[in-house]
Structure 1
Amino acid sequence: MDLNLREAILYNIAQNNQEELEATISDAVQGGEEKMLPGLGVLFELIWKQSDTENKQHMIESLEHGVQQANTDQ
């Protein structure tokens, strides 16, 4: 069986509107389930590919801040 996880995730969200995409992300983040991580990775990949250099830099800065915050919360 050849399962392409990326294709399956994209297929499952192909018809989603903005509200549905936001709900998917919010549910995955709030739920904190490990099984949701691959899906979030695919969504991030889509965002990254569609972003210009300035937006990518902003995401990296946000990520850096989030990582630092997560480390101080532990």
Structure 2
Amino acid sequence: MDFNLRGAVMANVANSSKDQLQHTIVDAIQQGEEKYLPGLGVLFEALWNHATEEQKQSMLETLEKAVKK
């Protein structure tokens, strides 16, 4: 069985407003279920692919701080 996860996630959020996207992200995080992690990964991939180099550096700095113990 060949399932296109990226396509399914992107189709599910296509034409979503900022508020709808925020609700989707916050809800997935609050649920805390690992089944939502691939979808969040697809959204991060889309964000990364559409970010400028400056935005990518900012995301990396934020991520670096977030993962430090």
TM-score, with normalisation over the residues of structure 1?
A: 0.86
Tell me which residue corresponds to 2:33: 33
Root-mean-square deviation (CA, aligned residues, Å) is 1.0
Moved over 3 A (4+): none
Aligned to 1:46: 46
Q: How far 1:29 moved relative to its partner?
A: 1.4
Query: Looking at both structures, which has the greater relative contact order when contacts are Cα pairs under 8 Å and sequence separation is at least 6?
Result: 2
Percentage of identical aligned residues: 52
The Cα shift of 1:28 comes to 1.1
- By how many angstroms is 1:15 displaced? 2.8
Q: For structure 1, which segment, 55-64 or 28-37, has the greater mean C-alpha deviation from structure 2 after superposition?
A: 28-37
CA radius of gyration, larger in: 1
Q: How many residues align?
A: 69
Structure 1: gaps (5+ residues): none
User: How big is the shift at 1:14?
Assistant: 0.9
Question: Corresponding residue for 2:58?
Answer: 58
Deviation per CA, 1:50-71: give whole Å up to 9, x if none.
1111110000000000001xx3
Unmatched tracts of structure 2, length 5 or more: none
TM-score of the aligned structures, taking structure 2 as reference length: 0.92
State the Cα distance separating 1:5 from its structure 2 match: 0.8
